[in-house]
Amino acid sequence: MIFKPVSSLTKEEKAFFIEKVGVYTRLLELHANSKGDSFTMDGTIDKSVLTELMNIGVISTEEEVHALRKVLGEDKYDGFISAVVYFLNHKEETEPIVFRLRNKSRKVLQETSEQRPAINVADFFCGAGGLSLGFSKAGYRIVFANDFQKICTETYIYNHPEIPSSKVFTGDIKDIIVDIKDYVKDDVDMVIGGPPCQSFSSANQRRVIDDPRNILYKYYIEAVRQLCPKFVLMENVKGMLKVANQVVEDYHSIRAFKDGKEYTYNVSYRLFNSVNFGVAQNRERLIYLAVRDDIEKRNGITPESLFEEIEDSCKGNTVFNLQSALEFIKPLEAPRVKGQTEVNDERTGMKIDLNHYDSCGNEYLKSINDGKQMEFVFNHKARYCSDVNYEIFKRLGQGEDSTNPKIADIMPYSRRNGIFKDKYYKLIADRPCRTITAHLKMDCLSHIHPYQIRSITPREAARIQSFPDDYLFLGAYLKTYMEIGNAVPVLMAEQISRVIKKHFD
């Protein structure tokens, strides 16, 4: 469920609890304002409000209302209760707006989802859920997801209401790998994920992949061995090419047992660029595909033949440029005062705002938003810009970087241009965007907006990664860049998964 009762929260959970309550309140407040309505509250909570608080999941008993008020504080509490009253007075109209933030609504969706036949998938190192979203859109069912970072699993749970939160595990994979079948209760048809690996700079060593720093990759292999799926997809950075053959050896050494039978795997790898999958971004990623031996024989397929099908499926895809991702969204100005990234502001943007633009205004937006018009826009907030950076942003032209003579007199890293050549870079509107990376949480100087004097917002980065506009990234502002930068582009995941899906029994 999206909420735990307020009395059972840990200290870390309280911060996300308060944030999600704020999202609920904000969504209904904006909707009411757009309709010319306002929240009305007479200061009392009747039985219907108490029941709805339980349906949302923030309390389990009437006595917890006092704890709810204490955790939220007076202002947030009053706003939340007003939002609940508004919901009850406009339930049919507003339930689609807040169903992700209502345990009762999520339960109905999950029960319906579980009744449908589907291909079961376990997603390890799931992050904010880009890979899972692509597979879900293709008709797969995610039966388990795991990530170490709470911010990622909170975002994942919010945006995947069809998956019970009990099946999303926050924690180190090493804590579950020994008893993995106690966590993954369902029969798994496919394992997906992108285990983080350390630098491969010492690739002349005989078995670099055995470096203790790459233990997470080893746990991923062990998860495959224990779950014995029919197919495996592993995504990683281009640098993993240096140890590709070592990875192949590891997959070939798997001996998995299921129903008294022993199975092995054939595996291959291919470097793909997300731009070929209709994503407005040049992003090279190494994809490994493994096929269980019985499926390979029965269906007459190999990992190599699957890769050929995937490449064929990309023929005819439109190559989208950056501008297609940046259109039909509110222009913003960068805050010039520090500490404003969590403050809603008409000029610099808001975490949640009404959408006054066409969500399907061009073919790219239509593809990432599945042809739906979005009432809200999420995470479209500009980040702080210093006086020096503002001047640099203003002077640079598209495609120009730190070495440009226009900024030589004010360039802070002029003595280290060899290292910081890409420290400043203004994006080119009529080409696919350069790779969106997790480093954007540190600064966005490498991704300066092509027209506006600022760096790109988290929402613009998410669009470039082909996330739909209604995908809300929870957590602190700067960390949302990390969530987005680490993700697999949704459209890329979806297209690959559709090819593989054809070969399930």
Query: Tell me, what DSSP letter sits at residue 502?
Result: T
Determine the Cα–Cα distance for residues 402 and 412; give it in Å rounded to an integer: 9
Predicted pLDDT of residue 214: 79
Q: Give the pLDDT confidence score for residue 423 in this predicted structure.
A: 84
Helix (H) or strand (E) holding 122: strand 120-124
Chain segment 115-169, per-residue pLDDT in tens = 888 999 999 999 999 999 999 999 999 999 999 999 999 999 999 999 999 999 9
Q: What is the mean pLDDT of residues 411-438?
A: 82
Which pLDDT does position 158 carry in this prediction? 98
Q: How far apart are CA 171 and CA 192, in angstroms?
A: 17
Q: Rounded CA gap, 100 and 79, in Å?
A: 19
Tokens of 393: 């942003």
pLDDT exceeds cutoff 90 at 487: yes
In the chain, % of residues over pLDDT 70 = 95
Report the alpha-carbon distance of residue 461 to residue 281 in Å, rounded: 10
Token pair listed for 277: 């999958």
pLDDT tens, 50-75? 999 999 999 999 999 999 999 999 99
Mean pLDDT of 386-402: 96
At 215 the pLDDT is 87
pLDDT score of 231 more than 60: yes
In this predicted model, what pLDDT tens digit does every residue of 261-310 receive, in sequence order? 999 999 999 999 999 999 999 999 999 999 999 999 999 999 999 999 99
Contact, 301 vs 290, CB < 8 A?
no
Tell me the percentage of the chain whose pLDDT exceeds 90: 88
Q: Which whole-number Å values give the CA distances from 10 to 4, 7, 16, 38, 71, in the listed order?
A: 10, 9, 10, 34, 12
The pLDDT of residue 491: 98
Catalytic residue, chosen from 126, 197, 360, 444, is 197
Average per-residue pLDDT for the chain: 94
For residue 203, is pLDDT > 50?
no
152 annotated active-site: no
- pLDDT beyond 80 at 435: yes
